[in-house]
Amino acid sequence: MCSAVGVLPLALQYGYPVVQQFLAGAHDMDAHFFEAPLRGNIPVLLGLLGVWNSSFLGHPARVILPCTFYFFALYFCIVLFCMIYFLV
């Protein structure tokens, strides 16, 4: 997403100020990855969760879902349903 191929369509669709905010958020996440302790490091925890799901639970794949504020409620309901369904 952060290459010219990914950023150009974003810039054309939403304008360059939105792309600047997007790139600033990506930079902040990179800084978080390098500076946060492992216990609270979100990318590390997601990586460990992926290893746990594939190695111990036998899930062969994962999905990365793009989410907008419009679809947040629906996405939250799906995640909540999956958590209840698989944990109960």
Q: Is the pLDDT of residue 69 over 60?
A: no
Q: What is the pTM of this model?
A: 0.57
Number of separate domains in the chain: 1
pLDDT at 34: 93
20 Cβ contact partners less than 8 Å away, ≥ 6 residues apart: none
Q: What angle do CA 34, 59, 45 make, to 5 degrees?
A: 20
Residue 30: domain span: 4-87
Query: Tens of pLDDT along 1-58?
Result: 667 777 888 888 888 898 899 889 889 989 999 999 988 898 898 888 888 888 888 8
Nearest by Cα to 46 from 28, 64, 26:
64
pLDDT at 66: 61
- C-alpha dihedral, 25 to 31 to 34 to 36, nearest 10°: -90
